[in-house]
Amino acid sequence: MRVLFAGTPAVALPSLEVLREAGHEIVAVLTRPDAPLGRKRVMTPSPVAARAQELGLPVIKADKIDAEAAAAIAAAAPEVAAIVAYGALIPASALTLPTHGWINLHFSLLPAWRGAAPVQHSVINGDEITGASTFLLEKGLDTGPVYGTMTETIRPTDTSAALLERLSHSGAILLAQTIDGIGAGALTGIPQQGEISLAPKLTLEDGHVAWGEPALAINRRIRGVTSEPGAWTMLAGQRFKLGPVLMRPDVTDLVPGQLLISGKTVVVGTGSHAVELVDVQPAGKKLMKATDWARGLGNKEDVVFE
């Protein structure tokens, strides 16, 4: 099949590689324009753009499919478009540019968690099972008929970053199999059935830990926002970043946000039992072990997260 591949972040790379290995012809790669990166804000191509350039593939850089981008896609004459985390909506006028349409790899079991952050919402909400779906793009948000699905168990220690990494590889195989089936004329989409849930893009505020919530909810939220947008709390008027925590059901006598520091552990009170901090990043400093940070506090005993 002549495939237009649309994707931007590193999570899309396994799909690009698997499609190539499956023998499909990547006629062009659509990705977001270069963006400033790092403290020096150096303009840097997306991971997908960088890999496409290494492979000598034609690259179309566009933050939306305007007339110029549409013309470039049409000139590539794709039979099908495979899209994985491209990062922009495909307008209705562009849906018919590939002969067989746009096939999206979405990291949830549709119609659960339609939207930009399905993996994060799945972890935050305590799902035990998630997966990936391939479906045909249409005008609605992630509403099109589904071609195939695969499932993945969410582990108790999974962050959204770790879970998404696994799904990016297993989902890549599902996407390639879907493209194979469409090319062979052996696969048709099935309308979505089941309970609909939405997964809008997370904001910085979604990472703010509310210590009055139960420890289980706090644990899920921190894992769900790791690595983006990141978990944080306030300490002495400054943002204090947090890595995933451990559950400490043996400590129940702390008020929400109150820290208990011993030689080997740093625990924080919640609305139920405590949680143990592992990695932290104080304002203006690098990520460090919580015990190393606590050592610098000396004998201070009245530390409370806001």
pTM of the model: 0.94
Angle subtended at Cα 174 by Cα 185 and Cα 169, rounded to the nearest 5 degrees:
155
The Cα–Cα gap between 14 and 19 comes to 9
Q: Which two tokens stand for residue 110?
A: 């549709």
pLDDT in tens, 20-32: 999 999 999 999 9
Q: How many domains does the chain have?
A: 2
pLDDT of 160 over the 90 cut:
yes
What residues are paired with 289 via a beta bridge?
Answer: 279
Q: If you average pLDDT over residues 281-287, what whole number do you get?
A: 93
What residues are paired with 240 via a beta bridge?
Answer: 233
**C-beta neighbour count of 154 within 10 angstroms:** 21
Residue 301 in any domain: the answer is no
219, exposed or middle or buried, with CB in 10 Å at 0-12, 13-18, 19+?
buried
Residue 238 in any domain: the answer is yes
The Cα–Cα gap between 103 and 136 comes to 5
Residue 189 in any domain: the answer is no
Q: Do 162 and 49 have their domain in common? A: yes
pLDDT in tens, 62-92: 999 999 999 999 999 999 999 999 999 999 9
- Cα torsion 289, 295, 296, 300 to 10°: value is 130
pLDDT of 299 over the 70 cut:
no
Q: Do 12 and 51 have their domain in common? A: yes
Residue 11 belongs to domain with CATH number: 3.40.50.170
Residue 280 in any domain: the answer is yes
Q: If you average pLDDT over residues 149-176, what whole number do you get?
A: 98
pLDDT in tens, 166-218: 999 999 999 999 999 999 999 999 999 999 999 999 999 999 999 999 999 99
> Which DSSP state fits 79?
S
- The overall average pLDDT reported for the chain is 95
Q: Do 32 and 145 have their domain in common? A: yes
**pLDDT reported for residue 300:** 63
Residue range of the domain that includes 24:
2-183
Q: Do 217 and 251 have their domain in common? A: yes
Of the spans 3-17, 38-52, 257-271, 290-304, which averages the highest pLDDT? 3-17
Domain edge (last residue) among 134, 153, 183: 183
Residue 302 in any domain: the answer is no
Show the beta-strand stretches assigned E in the chain. 2-7, 25-31, 35-37, 42-44, 59-61, 80-84, 102-106, 129-136, 146-153, 231-235, 238-242, 246-248, 259-261, 266-268, 274-276, 279-281, 288-289
